[in-house]
Amino acid sequence: MPELPEVETTLRGIRPHLEGRRIARLIVRNPRLRQPIPPEMPERVAGQTIRSLRRRSKYLLIGLEHGSLLVHLGMSGSLRVVTAGSPPRTHDHLDLILSDGGILRFHDPRRFGIFLWISMSPEIALVEHPLLCRLGPEPLENDFTGEHLYRSSRSRRVAVKSFIMDSAVVVGVGNIYASESLFLAGLHPARACNRIDQGGYERLAETIRLVLRASIEQGGTTLRDFVNESGAPGYFAQSLRVYGRAGESCRICGTLIRQQKIGQRSSFHCPHCQPQAIDAGSAAFFDEE
């Protein structure tokens, strides 16, 4: 699934090819996405100039002269910029054709993505659209702090990994990034979130930023893939410390990495580097795999 760094990399890859360009027309080959594309949408966007592009969580907002395009890549979606005449592949559901001949092509084999015109400007959509208005802070912005995590966790008893994956708490911390951030912070993923002190959350906020920034920087090396006519965008290889490494040695201490289910998601940790506190507040509702 594309996560925040992949979406940010997508934004950086397509922005130079879209910003300031005029939309000539929209071709919809298959309208049956997570939210079906309405038949009037091509007429709504044709002739409009693209004024801005921005990311909120894993959503992309493409600001137009009138309204915006709201895009989510879902489970398997991707965006590429191709040249006029490039033949569509299977699962290329939509082409946004620009007046200079460029094409923004939306590819989504599982069709869980979103590509919709909304009547709101990006600024209004951020505070009023139901998919955006309840989202927590961006992890790379100044309002995301250890103090925010500490305050938000006081009345909660869920495992800290589930807590930081809650988009109402902070956006963009997916399963991989949660496991990696907790490892760097030295926190067991099943620890009850209300049993972690502010110092622990200060470390965790910093490691979340560190992991996401490093992933975005790695993603920058694949920007050329967003204008490659022959292949899908190449999401970058992760330099993973614990995720997906069950049974392998910890890169720090040599202890074998363990895999557990927390909140129905596979989780990975080092028992030595991330000891589980033995107290009444531990969230012991996970199963070893």
Q: What is the pLDDT of residues 236-246, one digit of tens each?
A: 455 789 999 99
Domains and CATH numbers, the chain: 4-128 (3.20.190.10), 146-288 (1.10.8.50)
The mean pLDDT of 93-104, rounded to a whole number, is: 95
With a cut of 60, say whether residue 107 has pLDDT above it: yes
pLDDT tens column, 26-77: 999 999 999 999 999 999 999 999 999 999 999 999 999 999 999 999 988 8
Annotated catalytic residue: which of 2, 122, 189, 233? 2
Give the Cα separation of 244 and 11 in Å (integer).
Answer: 27
Percent of the chain with pLDDT over 70: 88
Catalytic-residue membership of 65: no
The mean pLDDT of 250-258, rounded to a whole number, is: 96
Give the Cα separation of 76 and 216 in Å (integer).
Answer: 19
The answer to the question of whether 93 is labelled as a binding residue is no
| Half-sphere exposure in the Cβ direction for 281 (13 Å, CA) | 15
Catalytic-residue membership of 58: yes
Q: What is the pLDDT of residue 277?
A: 66
With a cut of 70, say whether residue 234 has pLDDT above it: no
What is the helix (H) or strand (E) element at residue 289, kind and residue range? none
Which strand ranges, in their side-by-side order, compose the sheet holding 114-118? 50-56, 59-64, 68-72, 114-118
Annotated catalytic residue: which of 55, 58, 203, 258? 58
The mean pLDDT of 250-269, rounded to a whole number, is: 95
Catalytic-residue membership of 265: yes
The answer to the question of whether 156 is labelled as a binding residue is yes
Catalytic-residue membership of 151: no
With a cut of 80, say whether residue 220 has pLDDT above it: no
Q: How far is CA 62 from CA 8, 50, 51, 68, 104, in A?
A: 13, 7, 8, 5, 12
Whole-prediction pTM value? 0.86
